[in-house]
Amino acid sequence: MKFAGIICEYNPIHLGHVYQIDTTRSILGEESCIICVMSGNFVQRGEAAVFSKFARAEAAVRAGADLIVELPAHVSLSSAEGFARGAVELLNALGVCTHLSFGSETGNTDMICRTAEILLGREFEENLASELKKGDSFASARQRAVEKISPECGDVLSRPNDILAVEYFKALADTKSRLEPIAVKRTGGDHGGDEGFSATAVRRGFYSGDIPWKVIPVQARHVFEREMNAGRGPVAMAAYEKALLYRLRTMDRDEFERLPGAEEGLGLRLMKCAAVQPGIQRIIEMTKTKRYAMSRIRRMLMCAFLGIYREDMGKKPEYIRVLAAGKRGQMALREIKKNAALPVLTKPASGLKSGFPGRDDFVRQCRITDLYTLGFTDCAPGMELRTSPYMEK
């Protein structure tokens, strides 16, 4: 059996995601197993997920994925490079994956691979140093630095899914991974657009009440409706406003400077804005400059809220947290337990045992989940320990 890894957030899952799962399976064979490494309750754009990791994982399995394991919060709140590196390390650690499937605007693995090779080269580093002196954002400077070497590869860095794909290739090279890449050409509207299979547009519909059910898999719809009826979604950042303001107003200078992404004075800039601005959106707007993307500042805020610091970033996952499994995924789990380089956690209570290697990190994940549930109507703590993985019967 072939095992394909997909790095995802499914925030929330939609028909574009199902297309990737189905296409991957059609390429590798109908008996192949699709294993998804999915962001937990906080996602890479620096926000809370619209539904909990448990609900999103269950919805994904019902919609066709076989096994969902969690990407730890300190990885999901990393830059694209850190996000890709941590996810690839987790896929490698499973010990069974043979392929890495990813969405791409171009669908051209050769071009994406070439772009990754350029980013790892000395000529690019020299070009980047020169471009950064112009004061533009890192993303713009990086794209221009690559364009000097290859205009076609520079164009790859103008598209969000291709940017992540390039980071996956870099991570595969850095970790000497044996995973074989599969590029699935993206369909539907542009990333972040208003049409097609844009997760941004789907989330906007959940928040406005005009939910685009036509692009949500039928199997997932009842999961999301159940969560909404129970007051567990859609979770919006407004629910965390006062808690986050409290956190920012009680942090000292050292804590701001230790935040991931706080280099070059950005941490102090955030501290100064937080000291005078009345709301989170205003803090973000006043902290942002031409050089720093809004998403970087949002991730800094989420890290501040959750107590994640620079020293936490780059740490390799310490265990494999199973969130959901279909019947084929449950069979795969048996193979994973035999071959994995990390302990596999299926029973939450086991994460608190004194001999569990990732105990300290699991305790932190419990706290992070408790903070996430502040966005629920009933924000009772303990969800991490009360919730077992969804297992298809």
For the chain, what is the radius of gyration of the CA atoms? 20
Structure confidence at residue 289 (pLDDT): 85
Report pLDDT digits (tens) over 291-346.
888 999 999 999 999 999 999 998 999 999 999 999 999 999 999 999 999 999 99
3-state secondary structure (DSSP) of residue 381: coil
pLDDT above 70: residue 195? no
- Residue 343's nearest CA partner among 169, 165, 162, 93 is 93
193: confidence class by pLDDT, cuts 50, 70, 90 = very low
Amino acid at residue number 77: L
CA 380 remoteness from chain centre: 25
Give pLDDT, residue 259: 98
Cα distance from N-terminal residue to C-terminal residue, the chain: 21
Query: What mean pLDDT is predicted for residues 238-256?
Result: 97
Q: For residue 203, give every residue at least 6 positions away whose Cβ sits within 8 Å of its Cβ, in sequence order, or none.
A: 11, 12, 50, 234
Q: Which residues contact 301 (CB under 8 A, 6 or more apart)?
A: 46, 244, 248, 270, 280, 283, 284
From 303, 296, 241, select the one nearest 266 (Cα to Cα). 296
CA dist 270 and 20 (Å) reads: 38
- Tens digit of each residue's pLDDT (9 = 90 or more) over 95-143: 999 999 999 999 999 999 999 999 999 999 999 999 988 888 888 999 9
| Amino acid 133: pLDDT | 87
Tokens of 44: 């890479």
pLDDT band at 191 (very low <50, low <70, confident <90, very high): very low
pLDDT of residue 190: 44
The structure tokens 């610091």 sit at 309
CA atoms within 13 A on the CB side of 3: 23
Identify which of 24, 134, 21, 73 has the alpha carbon closest to the alpha carbon of residue 312.
73
Beta bridge partners of 102: 183
Taking a C-beta distance cutoff of 8 angstroms, is the pair 114, 150 a contact? yes
With H, G, I as helix, E, B as strand and everything else as coil, classify residue 334.
helix
| H/E element, 83 | helix 80-94
Structure tokens at 173: 């090279």
Tell me the sheet residues that pair with 101: 6, 182
- Yes or no: say if 339 and 80 are a contact pair by the CB < 8 Å rule: no
pLDDT digits (tens, 9 = 90+) for 214-236: 999 999 999 999 999 999 999 99
Amino acid letter, 114: R
Under 8 Å between Cβ of 65 and 326:
yes
DSSP-based three-state secondary structure for 188: coil
113: tokens are 């691979």
Handedness of CA 294, 296, 299, 301 (dihedral sign): negative
Dist. CA 88–CA 116, nearest whole Å: 15
Asked whether residue 194 carries a pLDDT value surpassing 50, the answer given is no
DSSP string, 196-234: TT-HHHHHHHHHHT---GGGS-HHHHHHHHHHHHTT--S
3-state secondary structure 125-184: HHHHHHHHCCCCCHHHHHHHHHHCCCHHHHHHCCCHHHHHHHHHHHHHHHCCCCCEEEEE
CB 270 within 8 A of CB 297: yes
- Dig out the tokens for 45 from the structure: 């754009």
The predicted pLDDT at position 197 comes to 60
3-state helix/strand/coil string of 278-305 = CCHHHHHHHHCCCCCCHHHHHHHHHHHH
3-state secondary structure of 389: coil
pLDDT digits (tens, 9 = 90+) for 2-47: 999 999 999 999 999 999 999 999 999 999 999 999 999 999 999 9
